[in-house]
Chains A and B, each alone.
Chain A
């Protein structure tokens, strides 16, 4: 029973729930985000400094404060299916200014990780995976650039996986151990 009681069982139940969980809430989500984000996201008191610092906020409906609230309330579906989740440029201005010493940016990153587990991810992220799997580089070399490199006295290919492709096997093994290539192939094909 809540400290103050009313002749209304439904209201009493609501007042007893100090986490304001509703039928949409998944309390485990808050714990998962805490672990993956490595920041005390549940300590947010909704001051809005994050949204006020956000370069994406003035030009979209993306509100980082809203995602912070969804985390505290365990509103997993609402958070992970909102396309605005992908509008964070990860500039960390909110993180630098948060008076609760939380890293809201890392909460967004963690939420994106959980969205990916449900196959929710923009295509361009998966294309980067494909490029790295094949070449080791997210932005691989090309012929125009090779010619320019030679003009500058550099090797046509940089001394990375481009010049030493024998290292690509190790990279592919890492990505395969996490099933990343397989998952991104599957998601890209499903579109």
Chain B
């Protein structure tokens, strides 16, 4: 365990789906990060990021202002933001970046924020917890490996990176978006075997409001990914985004109902996998809230 002085502190931006549907993602983020020198502090009064698909599609100006309000809360704490959802990353990281570099837009957003006694100053940065785990300046793969007490050996895990953490590449800083492997390194660090599969970087299908607009269309995309993932015999899917998690997890139930295809592949956020590897119990992670039963995977690794 780190001493307090060595802890990297971040304002923990929760979003919606992690705290309100998969609380195990939130609990495991707080507990696993504490074991590798990262302290996640509550960001009081934060809201939805807001959902980039829904809000960005309706009125980008509202999207900028609402995301800026969340950023202001962290600026007031004088802490950088860490978060665990790719959708949140799109809103919070991208709006922070745009407003820092576009003076005219910043002025317009601040006119709105003035009405609620806030001002976007551009004094903090935004990170996904997974990139902090991978970054040797903050944590690094070795430290993740060292924190493992129950290696998840014998399980094949398919990595789903999701979209908004890496793409568009020119507005991000996480490297290659065609065949990245850093997530696989993190999976190997917790003792599991990462497996490659066809069209790995394809979308889960849920984003852009499509899950709500045309669920069959969204599920058809998910189904293609599940076919590719099942073909390589994966025991579980791991992702970095609770919305992708929802799409793969509840989506498998919906795909069974609508298309008759059955996969039963458990879907776990990387935080949840790391939690298991650090000795958290399935009860500590509320894996019973997952739609797809995680038991076969758990029996294999624990």
Question: Are A36 and B167 in contact, with the CB atoms below 8 A?
Answer: no
CA distance A171 to B69 in the complex (A): 8
A-B contact count (CB 8 A): 212
Question: Are B221 and A125 in contact, with the CB atoms below 8 A?
Answer: no
Question: Are A125 and B209 in contact, with the CB atoms below 8 A?
Answer: yes
A137 within 8 A of B: yes
Question: Are A151 and B50 in contact, with the CB atoms below 8 A?
Answer: no
Question: Are A145 and B23 in contact, with the CB atoms below 8 A?
Answer: yes
Question: Are B60 and A167 in contact, with the CB atoms below 8 A?
Answer: no
Residue of B44, B69, B213 touching A170 (CB-CB under 8 A): B69
Question: Are B23 and A171 in contact, with the CB atoms below 8 A?
Answer: no
B258 within 8 A of A: no
A163 within 8 A of B: yes
Question: Are B168 and A177 in contact, with the CB atoms below 8 A?
Answer: no
CA distance A101 to B218 in the complex (A): 27
CA distance A47 to B241 in the complex (A): 32
- Chain B residues touching A, range: 35 or more
Question: Are B48 and A145 in contact, with the CB atoms below 8 A?
Answer: no
B16 within 8 A of A: yes
B 147-190 to A, binary, CB cutoff 8 A, 1 in contact else 0: 00000000000000001100111100000011000000000000
Question: Are A163 and B44 in contact, with the CB atoms below 8 A?
Answer: yes
Residue numbers of B with Cβ under 8 A of A are 14, 16-17, 19-21, 23-24, 26-27, 42-48, 50-62, 65-66, 69, 112-113, 115-116, 118, 163-164, 167-170, 177-178, 201-203, 205-210, 212-214, 217-218, 220-221, 224, 283-286, 288-289
7 A–B contacts, CB within 8 A, in A order: A89-B208, A92-B164, A93-B203, A136-B47, A162-B19, A164-B45, A174-B69
